Chains A and B, each alone.
Chain A
Amino acid sequence: MKNILEVKNLNKKYADFTLKNVSFTLPTGMIMGFIGENGAGKTTTIKAILNIITDYTGEINIMGLNNKTNDQKIKENIGVVLDDMFFPEVLKAQDINQIMKSIYTSWDEELFQNYLKQFNLPLKKAIKTFSKGMRKKLEIATALAHHPQLLILDEPTSGLDPVARAEVIEIFQNFIQNEKCSILLSSHQTTDLEHIADYITFINKGQIILSATCDEILNHYAIVRCTAAEFKKIKPEDYLKYRQEKYNYELLITNKKSFKQKYTTEVIDKITLDDLMVLMIKGVK
């Protein structure tokens, strides 16, 4: 199976928000970072993939199977962490274990316990006593314990301190040691994504504005900072977006190498995903 996840022409209309022709593909064995502003459509897209919302047009295939007609089989093979906690507060981790055992045929009790130990989570305390970070870790442990092939994670590291984030990232990289396993994760922690993501898909106002390998973005895209006089000399086809700042111009370029050969005087800076997001959204052309 070449692609574990295919989203094709997803359209969904709300009164005040529209998903428009959302399409992207996650090749098997890879990690895709799903980025965009709050309210850009990340969670709506994820909910469509998971069949939580169904009244959309377009097609979604997971493991080569249509997500609407193969719901049961797909759910057995995906692990999910959503932004809002879905466990009742009175439950304990050991209760989660019992419930999940009855839901998933492939639930691995031992693996679950191992994750709890690794994350320092108590088995016999009610979830309401857990900190935000502990809840997130419990959700991640739960998502992983039935040996899924695809992890779908909506903001899995929000609310975690840097050390816990590093632990979680390591777990994700361990997970894809099996080349059949893949991850789609939405995150605002763009530095984490810069390290581990193979692909970046960027959604803005309900539309995908960029889907490329992370290496392509980090190695070929760049930010140019220059004076107004210099800016005038740069041809519009040589940049994607620009932004007029108080003391200079900022340009987003997509081919650092050819830009360097063409123009000599400007400052060309290494790009971060944060810079990319800001310039794509705030920049004009």
Chain B
Amino acid sequence: MEIIISNSSGVPIYEQIKDQIKAKIITGELAANFMLPSIRLLAKDLHCSVITTKNAYEELEKEGFIKSVPAKGFYVARINQELAKEEQLTKMENLISEALKIAKIHQISITEIKEMIDIINEENES
């Protein structure tokens, strides 16, 4: 399992951990019943505080992606991958609608928007 933490991104560290583990569960990289590292071990290996990893796990548990087994640890929950992906797609749709609203106000064409997506994508890849 790989997790990359950025200290300058402005996104809280617990959220970065949460989002990355969640993505791995949705794509199936982390399968159901996979045992996650303990809160303390993860904190040590990511050089962050115990409370940070604890917050990340608690939120993942609340959202149903992992489950805690008392005295044992945290395991990846059995999730409906289709449903989880659907959720992410809805989130994207909302963001795109938001962008389209701005485009409409300022009369930016759909071709320009598509170009913009390609440019941003290229920048992010490099």
Contact = CB atoms under 8 A, between A and B. Distances in A.
B12 A213 contact: no
Contacts of A218: 12
A22 interface: no
B43 A215 contact: no
A173 B12 contact: no
B122 to A, nearest CB: 28
A215 B50 contact: no
A31 B50 contact: yes
Contacts of A31: 49-50
Contact of B50 (A169, A174, A198): A198
Contacts of A173: 43-44, 47
Interface string A189-203: 000000111110000
A176 B50 contact: yes
A29 interface: yes
A219 B10 CA distance: 8
A8 B13 CA distance: 32
A150 interface: no
B47 A196 contact: yes
A177 interface: yes
Contacts of A13: none
With a 10 A CB-CB cut-off, give which of A29, A30, A177, A215 has the most chain B CB atoms: A215
Given A215-B14, A219-B12, A30 B51 contact: yes
Contacts of A169: 47
B55 interface: yes
A177 B41 contact: yes
B48 interface: yes
Interface string A157-178: 0000000000001100110110
B18 interface: no
A214 B49 contact: yes
20 contacts: A170-B44, A173-B43, A173-B44, A173-B47, A176-B40, A176-B50, A179-B40, A196-B43, A196-B48, A198-B49, A198-B50, A199-B51, A214-B49, A215-B12, A215-B13, A215-B49, A215-B52, A218-B12, A270-B8, A270-B10
Given A176-B40, A198-B51, 9 more contacts: A29-B40, A30-B51, A31-B49, A169-B47, A177-B44, A198-B49, A215-B52, A215-B55, A270-B10
Interface of B: 8, 10, 12-14, 40-41, 43-44, 47-52, 55
